Each structure stands twice: as C-alpha cells, then as structure tokens.
C-alpha cells in the first residue's frame, strides 16, 4: 500500500472516531456511534496490517486474539458498579503499550521507517510519549487499586490519601531529574538506552507518587485525568512515528479527558491543582459532626412511604450510598409503584454522584429506569419549589445548603437544591459527615425526616409499605 493510500485510510478511520464521539450527544445516536467507532478501529488495524504484510503477521494475530479474548471476557463479566475500576485498568494498558512501543523504537528505529540512530526531533517526541505513558500506567494501577478497595491489603492502594513529609518537593525533584535524563537521551550519541531506561523508571515512580495522595472522593477527577493522559501518550507516540492516525485519535481522547476533569472539578468546586496536590478526603466518614445540640426528626420506612404516596411530585436524589448498597433496582420498583399511584417521579443527578463521570446514570439505566425520568442537576434545580417530596438516598455533600453560605468550606459548590422542596426525606446509614467532613443543615430542617438504615433495606421496606 502506498503511503498516500495509508494516509487516506487513516483519515477515514479518524472521521469514524469523530462521528463515534459525536453520536454520544443522545442515547439513540450513541449506539450507531459505537458501531462507527468499531468500523474506524477495524479500518485502522487492517490498514496497518497491510503495511507489515510481509512481516510476522502470525505473531501479531496471535497477540490480537489473546488480547481480544481477554477484553471480550472482561467486558461481559464486569458489574456496572465496577466500571471505574475497569476504566482505570484499561488506561493502564494504553499507558504500558505506549511505553513498550517507545522501547521498540529505541531498539530499532529502522523498523518504523526512521533513521538509525534516531534523529533528535523524534527523540524529543518519544521522550514525551513514553514518560506520559509510564505515568499513565503506574498512576492508573494505583487508581485501580484504590477503586477496587485493595487498600486493606496494601497501604499503597488506600482510598484515604497517602501523604508524607516533603512529598511535593520530592515529586518536583523527581520530575526535574526525569527531564534531565530526557535531555541526556536527547543528546546521546548512540541509542541512548541508559538515560532512556532511567527516565522511564523515574516516570513510573512519579505516576505512583502523584496518585497516592489523592483521596477516594476525588476519584472522578483522577479517572478523567488519566483518561486524558492516555490520549496524550498515544498522540506523543504518534508524533515520534509520524503517524497521523495516532495523533488524531490521541488528541480526541486527550481533550475529552481534559474536559471531563474540568467538569468534575467544577462540580466539586475544587481547582484542578488542589485535587492533584491531594490530601482531600482524609476526613472520609470519620469527622464527627457537632450534632449534640441539634435535633433531627427521624421516622420509619413506613412513614416515608406514606408521605411519598400522598405526594403529587417526587424527586429522588441518588448518591453513591445507593450504589454501594446496590439499591438501584429496589428504587426503580418503588418509583414504579408510585407512578402507578399517579405520582410524578423523577431522579435528580449531581455530576459527581457515583465514582466516575456519568456513573449514576449508568447504574439507573441498568435498573431499567427510563432515561427521560433522569434529570441533570441544572435542569431540575428550578423546580424544587413545586416539588412535594424529595427523597435523598445516600447523598450528602451534593445536597448541603452550606454551599450557599459564604465562608463555608464548600461555598460555591453547585448543589441539588433539595432544601427548597416542601418535604425532605433523607436516607442515611448514620449521622456521619460526608467526604467534605461537614455537617449538613438540611438534616435539621423542620420539614426534614431522616430514615436511618441501609439504603436497600429501607427502600425495600418502603416498597412493601406501598402495597
């Protein structure tokens, strides 16, 4: 195949990828988009196989079949609550692949149609691609461990931030040393193995050190950020191989991850740098709220069911607690019962509900909640004044009215304005504070009734009471 033809096929594949992403603007077009994405990938892979047709196709095909089978197996088995772990694991694979390709380029630039020894311009690009890839790999492994709850066995994977004295200066020092070795690789006469390998080693260590201080609450940002890195790594490798396919696809993914990180940071009212510098979420579940002098009204699931069935409009605010308790199916059943009684039921979703962007929407979709009942925060906030009952399930900070109070630590954070509804029902396991470690005035309002207990148990009791 001529180089021009290859470039045109790559262009076709790139257009497919862009259309695949464009399709995600609505659930109907998204499935067609995914098919186009698969088509784009097929075109890209077949085109590339044609380039190496005279080489070891057998080796490549065996590797593809093995990898493909593992991927297909995992994609079938994974639970929707485990999506964040899966995505983190997949980011690490992209990062590692980028590193391995970079190693192969250093080993034999001729195989990629490059000059041997590698020209300096390509070395610079290779340096960028491989260090981003290495950071993506080790960072994603740590993120995976934190999300999968491996912290009990290995302290490194603790979902609480792992911090130590001099952490930031150490990271900075390592980054400088890494760039130093990158420079040595750039200037090296021969292949430059020694500086290249040392640089990679430091990059792997940096990936670990960057992610360990970030707490469990900030995971949506971390996953989005690693998503972005995996794209930039692909783009970097594309630069060093002069491969437009990799550059285009990598940039699409890179900007996607960057935008998601931005959206997540904004929804948590945190600056990107404060997330990266870490240490947040240390108070996770431990900060005892000063509740002694305030009274809460608590009620049973039956009381709650009575209030719900007499309402005209109900808005359910699901939080991560709902996902942990795997209560989404029970919630759907309850909603159906209410709808059958003529109650209008909708779900209000905060952007950071769940552990990754859009996680709660997927969990509700899995429970077969029709997506036209699921409303994003900014679209529903204006309607709480006309809502009879708000049912908050396992959410806390995202409905905390302190966000409207100047001087509070979460001032300015966008919240679901549940406090404006006529009656507020809150299900929580206990009065413990949320990730932000703050007390929530919503719980002490006269119109609020607390229903304590595991979300699934409570909702199932409500379903029974509704019969």
Q: Which residues touch 54 (CB under 8 Å, ≥6 apart)? A: none
Q: Identify the residue among 55, 149, 409, 412 touching other proteins (CB under 8 A).
A: 55
Tokens, residue 240: 């060093």
The least CB distance from residue 303 to other proteins, in Å, is: 26
Dihedrals phi, psi of 298, to nearest 5 degrees: -120, 155
What is the chain's alpha carbon radius of gyration, rounded to the nearest angstrom? 25
The least CB distance from residue 291 to other proteins, in Å, is: 34
Does residue number 67 form part of the binding site for other proteins (CB under 8 A)?
yes
The least CB distance from residue 7 to other proteins, in Å, is: 10
Catalytic residue, candidates 58, 293, 303, 397: 397
| Stretch of residues binding other proteins (CB under 8 A), selected from 40-48, 179-187, 274-282, 444-452 | 40-48
CB atoms within 10 A of CB 365: 16
> Which 69-98 residues touch other proteins, going by CB under 8 A?
69-72, 74-76, 78, 80, 83, 86-87, 90-91, 93-94, 96-98
Nearer to other proteins, 172 or 379 (CB): 379
The least CB distance from residue 34 to other proteins, in Å, is: 5
Planar angle of CA 317, 85, 232, nearest 5 degrees: 105
Q: Identify the residue among 1, 79, 108, 194 touching other proteins (CB under 8 A).
A: 108
Does residue number 233 form part of the binding site for other proteins (CB under 8 A)?
yes
Q: Which residues touch 49 (CB under 8 Å, ≥6 apart)? A: 57, 60
Q: Which residues touch 177 (CB under 8 Å, ≥6 apart)? A: 202
Q: Identify the residue among 5, 64, 172, 288 touching other proteins (CB under 8 A).
A: 64
Does residue number 173 form part of the binding site for other proteins (CB under 8 A)?
no
Q: Is 397 a catalytic residue?
A: yes
* Contact (CB, 8 A) for 124 and 73: no
Which parts of 188-327 fold into alpha helices (H)? 193-211, 219-241, 244-267, 272-277, 301-309, 320-324
The least CB distance from residue 121 to other proteins, in Å, is: 6
Nearer to other proteins, 63 or 187 (CB): 63
> Which 319-358 residues touch other proteins, going by CB under 8 A?
336, 339, 344, 349, 351, 356-358
Q: In whole angstroms, what is the distance from residue 455 CA to residue 467 CA? A: 19
Strand partners, 347: 316, 374
**Residue 311, helix vs strand vs coil:** coil
> Which 246-275 residues touch other proteins, going by CB under 8 A?
246-257, 259-260, 263
> Catalytic residue positions?
397
């Amino acid at each position: 195949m001529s180089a021009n033809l290859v470039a045109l096929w790559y262009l076709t594949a790139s257009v497919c990828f862009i259309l695949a992403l464009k399709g995600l603007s609505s659930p109907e077009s998204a499935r067609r988009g995914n098919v186009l994405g698969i088509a784009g990938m097929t075109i890209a892979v077949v085109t590339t196989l044609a380039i190496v047709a005279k080489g070891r196709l057998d080796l490549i095909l065996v590797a593809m079949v093995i990898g493909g089978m593992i991927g297909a197996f995992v994609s079938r088995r994974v639970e929707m609550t485990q999506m964040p772990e899966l995505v983190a694991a997949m980011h690490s694979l992209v990062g590692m692949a980028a590193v391995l390709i970079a190693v192969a380029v250093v080993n034999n630039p001729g195989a990629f149609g490059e000059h041997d020894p590698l020209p300096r311009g390509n070395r610079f690009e290779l340096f960028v691609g491989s260090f981003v890839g290495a950071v993506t790999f080790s960072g994603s492994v740590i993120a995976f461990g934190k999300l999968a709850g491996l912290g009990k066995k290995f302290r490194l994977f603790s979902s609480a931030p792992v911090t130590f004295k001099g952490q930031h200066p150490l990271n900075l020092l390592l980054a400088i040393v890494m760039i130093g070795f990158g420079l040595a690789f750039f200037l090296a006469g021969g292949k430059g193995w020694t500086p290249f390998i040392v640089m990679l080693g430091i990059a792997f260590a940096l990936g670990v050190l960057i992610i360990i201080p970030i707490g469990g609450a900030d995971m949506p940002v971390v996953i989005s950020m690693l998503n972005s890195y995996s794209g930039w790594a692909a783009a970097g490798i594309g630069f060093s191989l002069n491969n437009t396919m990799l550059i285009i696809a990598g940039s699409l993914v890179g900007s996607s991850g960057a935008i998601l990180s931005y959206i997540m940071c904004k929804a948590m009212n945190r600056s990107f740098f404060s997330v990266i510098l870490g240490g947040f979420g240390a108070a996770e579940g431990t900060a005892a709220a000063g509740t002694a002098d305030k009274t809460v009204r608590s009620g049973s699931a039956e009381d709650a069911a009575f209030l719900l069935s007499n309402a005209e409009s109900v808005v359910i605010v699901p939080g991560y607690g709902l996902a942990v308790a795997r209560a989404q199916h029970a919630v759907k059943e309850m909603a159906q019962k209410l709808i059958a009684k003529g109650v209008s039921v909708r779900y209000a979703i905060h952007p950071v509900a769940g552990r990754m962007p859009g996680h709660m929407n997927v969990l509700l979709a899995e429970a077969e909640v029709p997506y036209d009942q699921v409303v994003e925060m900014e679209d529903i906030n204006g309607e709480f004044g006309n809502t009879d009952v708000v049912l908050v399930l396992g959410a806390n900070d995202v409905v905390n009215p302190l966000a409207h109070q100047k001087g509070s630590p979460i001032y300015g954070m966008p919240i679901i304005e549940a406090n404006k509804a006529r009656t507020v029902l809150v299900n929580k396991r206990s009065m413990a504070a949320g990730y932000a470690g703050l007390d929530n005035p919503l719980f002490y309002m006269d119109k609020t009734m607390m229903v304590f207990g595991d979300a699934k148990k409570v909702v199932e009791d409500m379903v029974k009471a509704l019969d």
